Amino acid sequence: MATDSASPKDVTKRETNERPEKTITPKPFPPEFYHRFLSDDAKQRKPSPIRGLFPLEDKPGVISFLAGKPNDAMFPFQSISFEVTDPSHSSQSIPVSITGTDLRTALQYGPTAGLPRLNEWFVALQERAHGRKRTEGWRLTIGNGSQDMICKAINAIINPGDPILIEAPVYAGVLPIFSALHCELVEVATDENGVCSGDLRSILETWPEGKQKPKAFYTVPYGCNPSGMTATIERRREVLQLAREFNFLILEDDPYYYLYFGKAVRPPSYFKLELETPEVGRVIRFDSFSKVLSAGMRMGFATGPKPIIDAIDLHTSHANLQGSSLVQAVTLALVEKWGYDGFFTHTEAVAEFYREKRDTFEKALQTHLGDFAEWSTPDAGMFFWFKLLINANPDEEGDSKELIETKAYENGVLALPGTVFLPNGRKTAYVRAAFSLSTEEEVNEALRRLREVLVRERNG
Ligand code: PMP
pLDDT of residue 391: 80
Q: Is 143 in the pocket of ligand 1 (CB under 6 A)?
A: no
Give the span between the Cα atoms of 124 and 207, in whole angstroms.
Answer: 40
pLDDT band at 17 (very low <50, low <70, confident <90, very high): very low
Please report which residue ranges of 11-115 form alpha helices under DSSP H.
40-44, 100-107
Give the span between the Cα atoms of 34 and 281, in whole angstroms.
Answer: 9
Q: Is 171 in the pocket of ligand 1 (CB under 6 A)?
A: yes
Closest CA relative to residue 272, chosen from 299, 303, 318: 303
Q: Is 145 in the pocket of ligand 1 (CB under 6 A)?
A: yes
| Ligand 1 atom with least separation from CA of 144 | 16
Closest CA relative to residue 34, chosen from 230, 421, 311: 311
Q: Is 241 in the pocket of ligand 1 (CB under 6 A)?
A: no
pLDDT of residue 2: 32
| Ligand 1 atom with least separation from CA of 291 | 14
Q: How far is the CA of 316 from the centre of ligand 1 (A)?
A: 18
Is 403 in contact with 453 (CB distance < 8 Å)?
yes
Q: How far is the CA of 210 from the centre of ligand 1 (A)?
A: 35
What residue's CA is closest to ligand 1, atom 11?
Answer: 147
Q: Is 227 in the pocket of ligand 1 (CB under 6 A)?
A: no
pLDDT band at 7 (very low <50, low <70, confident <90, very high): very low
Is 444 in contact with 367 (CB distance < 8 Å)?
yes
Of the chain, the percentage scoring pLDDT greater than 70 comes to: 94
Give the span between the Cα atoms of 45 and 47, in whole angstroms.
Answer: 7
What is residue 244's DSSP assignment?
Answer: H
Is 431 in contact with 403 (CB distance < 8 Å)?
no
Quick: pLDDT tens for 57-107. Answer: 889 999 999 989 999 999 999 999 999 999 999 889 999 999 999 999 999
pLDDT band at 425 (very low <50, low <70, confident <90, very high): confident
Which among 141, 142, 147 is the best mutation to test ligand 1's pocket, defined by most ligand atoms within 8 Å of the CB? 147
Looking at per-residue pLDDT, the higher value among 13 and 272 belongs to 272
pLDDT of residue 397: 76
Give the span between the Cα atoms of 109 and 68, in whole angstroms.
Answer: 9
CA atoms within 13 A on the CB side of 392: 6
Q: Is 225 in the pocket of ligand 1 (CB under 6 A)?
A: yes
pLDDT of residue 13: 46
Question: At how many degrees (to 10) do helices 440-458 and 325-369 cross?
Answer: 50
Q: How would you class 70 by CB atoms within 10 Å of its CB: exposed for 0-12, middle for 13-18, buried for 19 or more?
A: exposed
| Ligand 1 atom with least separation from CA of 298 | 14
pLDDT score of 125 more than 60: yes
What is residue 26's DSSP assignment?
Answer: P
pLDDT of residue 15: 56
Which among 171, 294, 297 is the best mutation to test ligand 1's pocket, defined by most ligand atoms within 8 Å of the CB? 171
Q: How far is the CA of 105 from the centre of ligand 1 (A)?
A: 28
Q: How far is the CA of 254 from the centre of ligand 1 (A)?
A: 8
Which among 142, 144, 146 is the best mutation to test ligand 1's pocket, defined by most ligand atoms within 8 Å of the CB? 146
| Ligand 1 atom with least separation from CA of 220 | 3
Q: How far is the CA of 93 from the centre of ligand 1 (A)?
A: 28
pLDDT band at 8 (very low <50, low <70, confident <90, very high): very low
Is 243 in contact with 282 (CB distance < 8 Å)?
yes
Q: Is 173 in the pocket of ligand 1 (CB under 6 A)?
A: yes
Q: Is 144 in the pocket of ligand 1 (CB under 6 A)?
A: no
pLDDT of residue 251: 98
pLDDT score of 18 more than 60: no
Q: Is the dihedral of CA 174, 175, 178, 183 positive or negative?
A: positive
pLDDT of residue 90: 84
Which among 253, 303, 383 is the best mutation to test ligand 1's pocket, defined by most ligand atoms within 8 Å of the CB? 253
SS3 state of residue 347: helix
| Ligand 1 atom with least separation from CA of 299 | 15
Question: At how many degrees (to 10) do helices 233-246 and 197-205 cross?
Answer: 10
pLDDT band at 22 (very low <50, low <70, confident <90, very high): low
Give the span between the Cα atoms of 62 and 51, in whole angstroms.
Answer: 17
Angle at 275 between CA 272 and CA 281, to 5 degrees: 85
